[in-house]
Structure 1
Amino acid sequence: MATFALASAAYRDDEVGKILEANNEWHQSTVKPHRKWATIFRPNLGEAFSQAVVSRTLGVGRKPLIQSFGIEPQTVVEHCMAANHLRKERDTRLTAVMVVCGLLFLPGLLLWLLVFQIRSTVARREDKRAGALATTVLVAVGALVVLFLVKMPFTGFWAWYARLALIAPVVGWFLAKRICESTAKDLRERWTGLLSGSAVGARVPESVPSSPGDERAERLRQAFGELRDEQASNHLFYAGPKGVLGMGTRWGHWYLAEDLVPLPSQRTEEARSTGSLSMDLAKHLVPAPEVASFQSFDLANVIERALGELHKSPLNTGGFPQPDVGHWIVTPVPAGAGAVSRPSDYTAHRANAKQLSDICNNQQFDKGDRHYLGVQWTLWDGQLVISMLVTVTVLHKTLRVELTGHALGPVHGLFMSKPAAKTRTVSKSVRFWETRTITLPLVDNDEVVRLAARAPLTWYPPLLNWLGGSLTLPEPFGLRHAWAEQPWKHRFMTDDVLRTATPVLRVVHSAVIEFLKEHGVDTSKFDSRSSALSSAVQDPTPRKADVYDA
């Protein structure tokens, strides 16, 4: 559902500024405003969103993307391309109308565009009388046009051309209105279908090779392959207070840290119990016990196997679904970083087992990447992503096993809204103290003019963006976390997040203690500390654990 909710934005016809409502605390989109004299070229939400997402995810030389846990980013991008294709077909027909009815009669076209531009500017003022004034301007110009047609100041060819120059743009407007209404209806049906759960496929003709040497289709295939590789990458980025990018902020953390003390040898215990040796003599005659050597990655693998069994239960009562368990490499980046980068020695953006073990065993202090073992659940049709990360470090004689909780909430409610009929409340003509609601056309006059004026310029997007403005996506960009809300506003989602901590913590601690016993470690202090944490975690409280109040 989260995938289709984001994909539906490609078909929306709201004002582009509405997407700013979906900004969250850490990731904020911005809208580059249009030129003051070029409001007629402004994009709507669907046009700006589709163009921005496709350029950001498939553009040549783009910056790396953040993983979108809980959704399928390729599906969202394909719907953006499908929406662009539908609009491109519409703009092709509108361009033909503009050439025949506009370019050939340019003076009349410029006159009508100027009138609509003035009307649009006046109508957007906060003054309540602006709408009436805008309509008055249009009616006045229409009257002057009729007067000009009746009493022409000159004769001959130019007289007939002047008449056609005034009439042809109006004829083109009627043709353009039919074209715009047809496409708008199709876009709205796809918008509704995605949010209703019906099978709405994304038609992307560009991805189908038209010939064996079609370079465009091959570039698109490679771009989608790069997108899939980045989505499957095991390389994450920790952006300070923003948390792990793509996983959400850290809401809780628990530490198990004790010294690695070896178990007393059996000979020492026998000597002490029989009293045949003094304590000092036993130390000299009996070899000192030692902890069996192990590495951090060995313990991480044991914890990984234990976490893989979380979906099993002694009772047949549902419980956890099958979790996704894996090793991650995490790179620290500043909270205000505008871009991230992945090492060139990763194969398909993934660190191999050797690189994972080297970082886990060696990079536990000072600068460098860190190793995390993660268990993750994608719930509520992708609207909730719960991630629990485990780190294992050994400094001197102290073993530290840390568990942190991360939660990524649902996509903003803006993306869940279905299309509604355009209405307006007006006063009744007789009983003026009462009001009634009237249904407006799906595509009004201003929208037809806007689309017709934009159509010829869609072939060169930079110019169109310069005139009408564009949408700037939050960086570092990932489709899922860019418009995610906190899960704490939803009671059941909050329950799911908080209930996860206790069983995961106990499974991790059990695996750690069993592993230490096998390696000759005295686990009495670990048992005590684990019991204390097990009691405390039963009442976890979500908080901003990455915001340190020092």
Structure 2
Amino acid sequence: MADHSVFDFIPGAQIPLQGSAGQTAATHALASAAYRDSDVQEILKANSEWHQSAVKPGRAKIFEPDLGEAFARAVQVRMLGGARKALIQSFGTEPQTVVEHCLAATRIRKERDTRLTAVMGVFGLLFLPGMLLWLGVFQLRRALKDSKDRRTGVLGTVLLIAAGGLAVVFMLKLPFTGFLGLYLRAMLVAPVIGWLWAKQICEKTAQDLRARWTGLLSGGGVGAKIPEAVPRNPTETAAETLRQNLAKLTAEQQSNAVFYAGPKGILGMGTRWGSWQLAEELIPRDKDSEIHGFRSWDVIRAIHDRLKLLERSSLHTNGFPTPDVKHWIVSPVGENAKEVSRPSGTDVDAFQIKGHEIQRICNEQQFGSGNRHYLGCQFTLWDGQLVITMLITVTVLHETLRIEVTGHALGPVHSLFTSKPAPKTVMVSGTVKFWETHERQLPLMGADDVVRIAVRAPLTWFPNVLDWAGGKLVLPEPFGVRHAWAEKPWRHRFMADDAMRTATPVLRAVHAAAMRVLDEHGVDTERFGNRSVMLSGLVQDPAPRKADVYDA
């Protein structure tokens, strides 16, 4: 039975609204992968320096999935599976929307496969010897077609034509009569009729999938229809479980716990490209008095309030958008860690570390092992394609106050996900004016594609068998749908400018808030002020660096 005591805070499976600023480009780009019909190996082009997807080969190439089938299957199992591991937050995107499009694409293909299974049963299973003969010819043709030798590839087409000719001769010269003769003739004809019918089914579905693919990338707001996630009565435990898993996914996305993986930076936020530190001794302003006691949390709270005002300016400019200022708890994990574990216990509620525990970590866990507290100021720009995060941490050790500001930038999703479907065409010569050429539209589904999909169709209800037979997509771990396929922002001039322009105002706001707290508590701020002026000069450096890679 589904556990109704956890993550039961939505009325049904709904399409969540995107971010308040309408940041949908990255979400829709990732979701479009579920509708694609290109080769599954294309996903490997999106591998980055830190995150490597892999395609696990199957036992037979004829069962191999295409990119959309493999992507949708891998993502929904990884993000909704009952025994799934913890996920990395997908900043700048709505992972639930991506998963819902994967479910919607799977549902469309399953409806297609239901019809194809019926066609296979009537025209294939009843005439099994003939179907196996034709499958053997197609498999041999595909093997020859995949050869690097062009002449060998042409031989595959010749082989298919020769097989068709032999089939015609066999039917005309068949020595058998009666029922056996009729069956043997039908055995060769029925699979061909079934293939023609299957081709129409596949073509219609391919057009539907491509229309959704195009709609997502064109900003059409194509919705994901997943009625199987809406329970209609209390006995539908599968639908209720799916609904709760979607709600759990959204709750984990809102978690305030993140993971630092060495040179990979904070997972989901990108690598650290800049670091500025203000560290000075705490000296009383008046020699005859003492410093009024304060803790790190007092400084952090003042910085938090000041950062909330960043979007306000006395100048009439379209400057900073409203930042997301949030307290983060950062846990260290190994650079090559294959999984992460989220905090649990009485101090955690629905993946959220409670406020009193955040305050305790901020004040007490500043040295040695354990989690650390950071105040984050995050900007989601370029319609969700660029995520800039400035992290601030305050430590007080002995009589030294240290304020550190670090910059993290997560770039756009790989260009593979933003490419629209290209029509399949071929250049042909004119019939009369042979010196002229024109494009001819080809069907979306070729002969080999129809055979592959039709053979896979009966195994749709046994996905594990299909994974074993045709292979599957292996996602990079620890997995987050956003950072797994993100590019570096430094290749895009304007994105790089936005990332570096953020540092100076944030740094000055942090220093101004800290100075006010120090001044209120009787601290001599002259040295802090001088140091702050020096940092204001250093932050003008326009070159991002690999701040997490220590040259030691």
Does the pair score TM above 0.5? Answer: yes
Give the counterpart of 2:47 among 5, 10, 23.
Answer: 23
**What corresponds to 1:116 in structure 2?**
138
**What corresponds to 1:538 in structure 2?**
540
What code does the residue aligned with 1:376 have?
Q
What code does the residue aligned with 2:507 have?
L
Alignment of structure 1 residues 319-338 onto 2, 5 Å: 319-338=319-338
Give the counterpart of 1:47 among 42, 46, 69.
Answer: 69
Please state if 1:3 is matched with 2:2. no
**What corresponds to 2:491 in structure 1?**
489
Q: Following the alignment from structure 1 to structure 2, what is the Cα–Cα distance between the partners of residues 426 and 467?
A: 38
Q: Following the alignment from structure 1 to structure 2, what is the Cα–Cα distance between the partners of residues 185 and 42?
A: 21
Q: CA shift at 1:78, angstroms?
A: 0.6
Q: Following the alignment from structure 1 to structure 2, what is the Cα–Cα distance between the partners of residues 426 and 488?
A: 43
Q: CA shift at 1:461, angstroms?
A: 0.9
Q: Following the alignment from structure 2 to structure 1, what is the Cα–Cα distance between the partners of residues 431 and 81?
A: 55
Q: Deviations over 1:488-534 (max 9, x none)?
A: 11111111111100000000001111100111111111011001001
What code does the residue aligned with 1:364 have?
Q
Q: Following the alignment from structure 1 to structure 2, what is the Cα–Cα distance between the partners of residues 220 and 30?
A: 27
What code does the residue aligned with 2:226 have?
V
- SS of 1:27's partner is coil
Q: CA shift at 1:462, angstroms?
A: 1.2
Q: How many residues align?
A: 526
What code does the residue aligned with 2:295 have?
Q
Asked if the contact 2:306–2:513 (Cα under 8 Å) also holds between the matched residues in 1, the reply is yes
Q: CA shift at 1:199, angstroms?
A: 2.6
Alignment of structure 1 residues 509-548 onto 2, 5 Å: 509-548=511-550
Q: Deviations over 1:457-482 (max 9, x none)?
A: 11111111111111011110001101
Alignment of structure 1 residues 386-397 onto 2, 5 Å: 386-397=388-399
Asked if the contact 1:145–1:166 (Cα under 8 Å) also holds between the matched residues in 2, the reply is yes
Asked if the contact 1:39–1:121 (Cα under 8 Å) also holds between the matched residues in 2, the reply is no
Q: CA shift at 1:436, angstroms?
A: 6.0
**What corresponds to 2:178 in structure 1?**
156
Larger Rg: 1
- SS of 1:193's partner is helix
- The gaps in structure 2 that reach 5 residues or longer are 1-24
Q: Following the alignment from structure 1 to structure 2, what is the Cα–Cα distance between the partners of residues 475 and 257?
A: 37
Q: CA shift at 1:244, angstroms?
A: 0.5
Q: Following the alignment from structure 1 to structure 2, what is the Cα–Cα distance between the partners of residues 329 and 137?
A: 64
Q: Deviations over 1:111-142 (max 9, x none)?
A: 11111000011100110112310011111111
Give the counterpart of 1:252 among 274, 277, 282.
Answer: 274
Asked if the contact 2:257–2:353 (Cα under 8 Å) also holds between the matched residues in 1, the reply is yes
Q: Following the alignment from structure 2 to structure 1, what is the Cα–Cα distance between the partners of residues 541 and 439?
A: 51
Q: CA shift at 1:326, angstroms?
A: 0.8
Q: CA shift at 1:343, angstroms?
A: 1.7
Please state if 1:449 is matched with 2:473. no
Q: Following the alignment from structure 2 to structure 1, what is the Cα–Cα distance between the partners of residues 262 and 431?
A: 61
**What corresponds to 2:94 in structure 1?**
72
Q: CA shift at 1:344, angstroms?
A: 1.6
Give the counterpart of 1:100 among 122, 128, 131.
Answer: 122
Please state if 1:62 is matched with 2:64. no
Asked if the contact 2:230–2:243 (Cα under 8 Å) also holds between the matched residues in 1, the reply is no
Give the counterpart of 2:286 among 261, 264, 270.
Answer: 264
Q: Following the alignment from structure 1 to structure 2, what is the Cα–Cα distance between the partners of residues 59 and 332?
A: 26
What code does the residue aligned with 1:62 have?
R
**What corresponds to 1:278 in structure 2?**
none
- SS of 1:310's partner is coil
Please state if 1:363 is matched with 2:387. no
Asked if the contact 2:203–2:443 (Cα under 8 Å) also holds between the matched residues in 1, the reply is no
**What corresponds to 2:510 in structure 1?**
508
Alignment of structure 1 residues 127-276 onto 2, 5 Å: 127-265=149-287
Q: CA shift at 1:160, angstroms?
A: 1.4
Q: Following the alignment from structure 2 to structure 1, what is the Cα–Cα distance between the partners of residues 456 and 340?
A: 35
Q: CA shift at 1:289, angstroms?
A: 2.4
**What corresponds to 1:290 in structure 2?**
290
- SS of 1:102's partner is helix
Q: Following the alignment from structure 1 to structure 2, what is the Cα–Cα distance between the partners of residues 429 and 482?
A: 50
- The gaps in structure 1 that reach 5 residues or longer are 266-287
Residue 123 to residue 430, structure 1, CA distance change in 2 (3 Å): farther
> Which deviates more, 154-163 or 11-20?
154-163
Q: Following the alignment from structure 2 to structure 1, what is the Cα–Cα distance between the partners of residues 154 and 175?
A: 31
**What corresponds to 1:13 in structure 2?**
37
**What corresponds to 2:387 in structure 1?**
385
With normalisation by structure 1, the TM-score equals: 0.93
Q: Following the alignment from structure 1 to structure 2, what is the Cα–Cα distance between the partners of residues 290 and 153?
A: 113
